[in-house]
Amino acid sequence: MRARLLLTLLLASPVAATAQGADPMVNPATRDSVIAVAKRLFDGMRHHDGAMIASTFADGAMMSGVPRVGQPVRFQSTERFVTQAGNPGEPWDEQIYDPIVQVDGDLASLWVFYTFSLGEQFSHCGVDNFQMIRVEGEWKIAFLADTRRETGCETAGRVRVE
């Protein structure tokens, strides 16, 4: 009986680790450095620090949001976003959860659930998908896409990135 339980736990642990974003094939230091770029972006948004925000993007980076049904997909360069997020005002507070990181050489993908508040007012949640490239030894965002919704935003049971 104990042997079966131990075998079940051993077989299930890689699945559980992968489900929580701890891909055993990704070096933990590399995983942390990919996540750190997203954290720096969101810290910059909270402080309306355009220079910090801009430092996270590669030259020519693009952004897109998955629109509501019936609305066209729009792509934008990051310059407009950096300007908007860098303007003074209520903090843009984006919290991220359950990161999934994949890396192959100088290409990385980060998938996270997020919640977004404007100051103290909750706005929406969704998923951020970052495509990053390593430029001169540093991860930069090449493309960022997100979804947005007002339901299904509960965070109980999720692992928040600090």
Query: Would the pLDDT of 6 be above 50?
Result: no
pLDDT band at 22 (very low <50, low <70, confident <90, very high): low
Measured distance CA(33)–CA(47) in Å, rounded: 21
User: How are beta strands 57-66 and 138-147 bridged, if at all?
Assistant: parallel
In a domain, 31, yes or no: yes
Instruction: 124-129: list long-range contacts, CB under 8 Å, 24+ apart.
Output: 124/148, 124/149, 124/150, 124/153, 125/149, 125/150, 125/152, 125/153, 128/38, 128/94, 128/96
pLDDT at 21: 52
Q: Which of 35, 27, 29 is nearest to 130 (CA)?
A: 35
Per-residue pLDDT tens for 72-117? 888 999 999 999 999 999 999 999 999 999 999 999 999 999 999 9
CATH number of domain containing 85? 3.10.450.50
DSSP structure string for 30-75: HHHHHHHHHHHHHHHHHTT-HHHHHTTEEEEEEEEEEPPTTSPPEE
Name the residue range of residue 114's domain.
26-147
Measured distance CA(108)–CA(76) in Å, rounded: 21
In a domain, 47, yes or no: yes
Q: What is the mean pLDDT of residues 10-35?
A: 66
Instruction: For CA atoms 130, 133, 139, 140, give the dihedral sign.
Output: negative
In a domain, 117, yes or no: yes
In a domain, 162, yes or no: no
pLDDT at 25: 81
Listed range (6-20, 96-110, 129-143) with the worst mean pLDDT: 6-20
Measured distance CA(5)–CA(27) in Å, rounded: 29
Structure tokens at 95: 């919290």
- Could you tell me if 50 and 57 are in contact, meaning their C-beta atoms sit under 8 angstroms apart? no
- Could you tell me if 55 and 40 are in contact, meaning their C-beta atoms sit under 8 angstroms apart? yes
Measured distance CA(84)–CA(90) in Å, rounded: 12
pLDDT at 17: 40
In a domain, 3, yes or no: no
In a domain, 20, yes or no: no
In a domain, 110, yes or no: yes
In a domain, 41, yes or no: yes
pLDDT at 132: 98
**pTM more than 0.75:** yes
Domains of the chain: total: 1
